[in-house]
Amino acid sequence: MSVDECRLIDLPRVTDDRGSLTVIEGGRHVPFEIKRVFYLYDVPGGAARGGHAHRALHQVLIAMSGSFTVTVDDGGRRKKFRLNRSYYGLYMPPLIWREIDDFSSGSVCLAVVSDFFDESDYFRDYDEFLTRVRGGR
């Protein structure tokens, strides 16, 4: 996988005088079936989240409120995305290391993912991740 496969997805918006609505459908708006949704909130100033990669899981992150920065890393290159709109999602395929930081006050990060929680799907050690993506097992 490559950081080039990480991309912003423009989610559909329906807007009228009463406000706006955005919908997310698995296989239609995100390139996978949605099996789990979770969100990060009340992240203390200066704290970072993420710091891991997945072996098989696909994920989309959305700034539901506020803003934050996501750094993606494929073991060779890094790329930063600033998320600050609730109608943009950042798609990340498997084997991409991610770090989330620079949370604004009151920010909420929604994660839409392709599978149920499974600890064995995580790379939590960066060196182990590098070994895997650079050809080692």
Question: What gap in Å lies between CA 114 and CA 60, rounded to an integer?
Answer: 9
Nearest CA-CA partner of 24 in 53, 50, 59, 52: 59
CB of 16 within 8 A of CB of 102? no
Phi-psi region at 66: left, alpha or beta (left = phi > 0; alpha = psi -120 to 50): left
Point out the catalytic residue in the list 29, 52, 54, 58: 52
Distance between CA 101 and CA 109 in Å, rounded? 11
DSSP 61-92: EEEEES-EEEEEE-SS-EEEEEE--TTEEEEE
Active site residue 54: no
The two structure tokens encoding residue 52: 């891991």
Residues labelled catalytic:
52
